[in-house]
Structure 1
Amino acid sequence: MKKIIAAALLAGLAAQASAQSGTNSPYSQYGLGLLSSQATGFNRGMNGVAYGFHEHNQVNYMNPASYAAVDSLSFLFDAGISLQLTNFEENGRKVNAHNADIEYVVASFRAFKHVGVSFGILPYSNVGYNFSNTKNVNAFPSTSSPNATYSNIYSGSGGLHQVYLGAGWEPFKGFAFGANISYLWGTLNRSFKNTYSDSYVNTLSKNYTTQVKSYKLDLGLQYTYVLDRKNELTLGLAYSLGHKLDAEPECNVISTNSQTSVSDTTRYVVSKALELPHTFGVGLMWNYKNNLKVGVDYQLQKWSKVAYPQLNTVGGTTSYSLVNGLFNDRRKLTLGGDYCKGERYRGFFSRMHYRAGVGYASPYLKVNGKDGPRELSASFGVGIPIVNGYNNRSLLNISAEWVNQSVTGLVKENMFRINVGLTFNERWFAKFKVE
């Protein structure tokens, strides 16, 4: 009962944290925000490799077919947090930012023979930035000061989050499929303010707000082929349904008279806007004696087909409407592995998991009509067994991650993140014999 109460408290903390942002990236001002990792603690040590992995003692949200492999006597509860330091560099200037966030809370258990169930809460995207620039005004009314300046202030907050219920079924040995159905919700807030040092010029503000309430559907499949007594290969396939979110993005343009402080507001709304891209994933995992597991994943997100609302002024007429061609298809390739001498050994270090991974992702954002930053990443981590007189099946997953986002002429980001995930593995459903 104590662990159920603890689980409920952690889930409550995750729900509260979902209202906060886990990023300071200026790139989160575009699209749905900065896309969040969907990996749990053990995946993150391998840089997110997941499609071919099916663990009896870990929750793998990225391929719901893996739920069928959960141990029949276990109830898994996994919660993760992250601490990160990001260095931003532009034109020789460097700025550091710190963030801490509750990343996810997930659980899984065996419901029926060959059927596993999972549920939990995870982020989908994050919006969080605040920056400004100030420049001299070259051409100004004669009534203004010749040294007048203007400032542009950009800020944003919010993000999208998902609470899900999933199941995986293994109808016959080596083949499993599954699905996650999620409720997707959140608010995206972005603002732009243009101010002048000269009191004769009006202040202009643009506030963008979008509320999302929709669903998300993920499908997964895994097939394991036994090569011999020591080796087996698992093919994993995943698909996330792309669909319209039917949101109503709103833009309020506010012009304020600097002398009288009187404001004039014009409201623009786009109906049935925003959408999720079709996402395809394929992965292959090689398992050697259940000690060494190496996997490779490829993911394709069809962002190029997604339209996004944009405020445009042509010929003195301003409109807020959906625009195509603002994104590229995103392709991500990841390689990672896990080594453990054996969970049945008594030695502490023999039961440790050692993980590492690398990845590359092509840019999906377009900034001022040009391709945005590409992403390079690497990680390593450990799974530390928790051994005591009551429980020797739980794991503490700790990983360090480096992510670099850069493109010529734009802000360069170097992010260092520490991920900590605690997987409680409780022995449930066991029949005890009393003599």
Structure 2
Amino acid sequence: MIKYRQTLLLLLLICICDVANAQSSSASSNNTNSPYTRYGLGQLADLGSGNSKAMGGVAYGLRDKYQVNFANPASYSAVDSLTFIFDGGVSLQNTNFSNGTLKLNAKNSSFDYITMQFRAAKWAGISMGLLPFSNVGYSMTESRPVQGSTDQSMQVTYNGDGGLHQLYLGAGFKIFKNLSVGANISYLWGDVTHTRLEQFPTDASQFSYKNEFNASITSYKLDFGAQYTHQFDKKHAMTVGVVFSPGHKMSTNATVTTTTSVVAERDSVADCGIPTTLGAGFTYVYDGRLIIGTDVMFQNWSSAKYMNKKDMLCDRTRVSVGAEFFPNPMSRNYLAHIKYRLGAYYCSPYYKVAGSRAANEYGVTAGLGLPIPRTHSLVSLSAQYVRTDGKNAQFLNENTFRVCIGITFNERWFFKRKVD
């Protein structure tokens, strides 16, 4: 049975790694069709595994010895001493786009994360994994009247694809009975392309115009975290978590190519950056069966350069609340072993349109943690409804329904059996 489970784990690891590799190497494998990904580095990925996604994104104060919490590296010290944890997740989504007069639908699938974690010492845990950092993917066309003409129109087509990926290695240390600290170091890489094409279908004498932005980005990212747990009594406990990630300039090889029907010009641009991130959260745990938590995260994107400019982005704030209920871990009833989760969040996106913040984002989430019998492994299922609300009438509204599937394997790879 043990060999069977380890073989199954290896096969699933290979399959999910193939999906991740396809996502990172294929420009067509975008998990978004949002026109808002025209701005900045694209749509930022949420840092959360299966349980966090179902709880509105709450993560900074979570400590679970059977699940990976890569949002706060201090949590790695909670890993069980005998197990090796492997965690992978994917998402399926349907998005409706509307500007008041036109409605469109788009379907996408995406790789969310692959992580693993194990204990290195009684007071230390190690984790590593592959995560998306941002995603770009859109294609849209609009018709505009030609200035000074009453019978001619111009067709403008926008296309974009690519994104950044994050490979991390982290460690968490329990330095005192109730205090843990940790750090992640990540390698960031990816390519982003934005294209604007102007054509005049009603007038062949007019020259077409094409503007193409190509960026190849490589950089690093550091994340530091801490968690403090206070045990009020046998049944009541609270964990406070904080995270910090310093902002910095990224190594960027970027060009803008402008092409007309008669000439092409290329200019070099540079200086893209990631912001400083500050986050804090807490979780209250009752009797190991009920978890209630909240998180607040702030990123100063307004100070991060994009295409040599600092005024193209705005600060991002996210507030999350969530809960998990575990009815009865001692029961023989399978339904009593299911973890029931729900949450909600608000986020102010970091991109600007026409010089001002374009939208606000709201989401509600719910999910289940389905245990695999006679193991500590489980399948995490969650559903998310996300509303991106354009602040002005000319901006798009987006309604997204997303299903997330995560599989967490807990294998006792470090357990030595005694043979009589």
Question: What letter corresponds to residue 305 of structure 2 in structure 1?
Answer: A
Q: Deviations over 1:277-336 (max 9, x none)?
A: 000000011011110001100000011111222xxxxxxxxxxxx222222111111000
Instruction: State the SS of the aligned residue for 1:415.
Output: strand
Larger Rg: 1
Provide the secondary structure at the position in 2 that maps to 1:308: coil
The corresponding residue for 1:426 is 411
- Shift of the 344–77 alpha-carbon distance from structure 1 to 2, 3 Å rule, reads farther
Distance (Å, rounded) in 2 between the aligned partners of 1:25 and 1:192: 16
Greater CA drift, 3-12 or 104-113? 3-12
1:10 matches 2:9: no
Structure-1 residue corresponding to 2:378: 395
Aligned counterparts of 1:17 and 1:253: Cα–Cα separation in 2: 29
Query: Superposition pairs for residues 97-116 of structure 1, below 5 Å?
Result: 97-116=106-125
Q: Which amino acid aligns with 1:25?
A: S
1:359 — aligned with what?
A: 345
Partner of 2:195: 191
Give TM-score scaled by structure 2 length.
0.95
| C-alpha distance in structure 2 between counterparts of 1:277 and 1:342, whole Å | 43
TM-superposed deviation, 1:47: 1.4
Residues 263-342 of structure 1: pairs in structure 2 closer than 5 A: 263-271=262-270, 273-309=271-307, 322-342=308-328
Q: Give the whole-Å Cα distance in 2 for the aligned partners of 1:374 and 1:25.
A: 14
Shift in Å, 1:14: 1.1
Tell me the distance in 1 between the aligned counterparts of 2:339 and 2:360: 30
What letter is aligned with 1:185?
Answer: W
Correspondence 1:119 to 2:128: yes
1:90 to 99, 112, 116: 99
What is residue 153 of structure 1 aligned with on the other side? Answer: 157
Aligned length: 408
Secondary structure in structure 2 of the residue aligned to 1:249: strand
Aligned position for 2:62: 53
Where do residues 199-210 of structure 1 align in structure 2 (5 Å cutoff)? 199-210=204-215
Q: For residues 23 and 34 of structure 1, what CA distance do their matches in structure 2 show?
A: 8
Residue 213 of structure 1 is matched in structure 2 by 218
Could you tell me whether the CA contact under 8 Å between 2:296 and 2:319 is conserved in 1?
Answer: yes
* Aligned ranges 1:56-95 → 2 under 5 Å: 56-95=65-104
AA of the residue aligned to 2:19: L
Q: How far apart in 2 are the matches of 1:331 and 1:17?
A: 28
Partner Cα separation in structure 2 for residue 156 and residue 330 of structure 1:
23
Q: 1:5 Cα shift?
A: 4.9
Q: TM-score, normalised by structure 1?
A: 0.91
Letter of the structure 2 residue corresponding to residue 248 of structure 1:
N
Unaligned runs of 5+ in 2: 1-5
Structure 1 unaligned spans of 5+: 141-145, 257-262, 310-321
Q: Give the aligned residue type for 1:244.
A: K
| Percent identical residues | 38
The question of whether the paired residues in 1 share the 8 Å contact of 2:99 and 2:397 is answered with: yes
Q: Residue deviations 1:47-95, cap 9 Å, x none?
A: 1100000101101010000011011111111111100000000132110
The two structures, once aligned, show a CA RMSD in angstroms of: 1.3
Q: Which residue of 1 aligns with 2:334?
A: 348
Cα distance change of structure 1 residues 293 and 218 upon mapping to structure 2, 3 Å threshold: same
Find the partner of 1:180 among 170, 174, 184. Answer: 184
Deviation for aligned residue 1:138: 4.4
Say which of 222, 236, 244 aligns to 1:239: 244
Alignment partner of 1:212: what SS?
Answer: strand
Aligned mates of 1:356, 1:28 — CA distance in 2: 28
Residues 1:370 and 2:356 aligned together:
yes
In structure 2, distance between residues paired with 1:75 and 1:15: 23
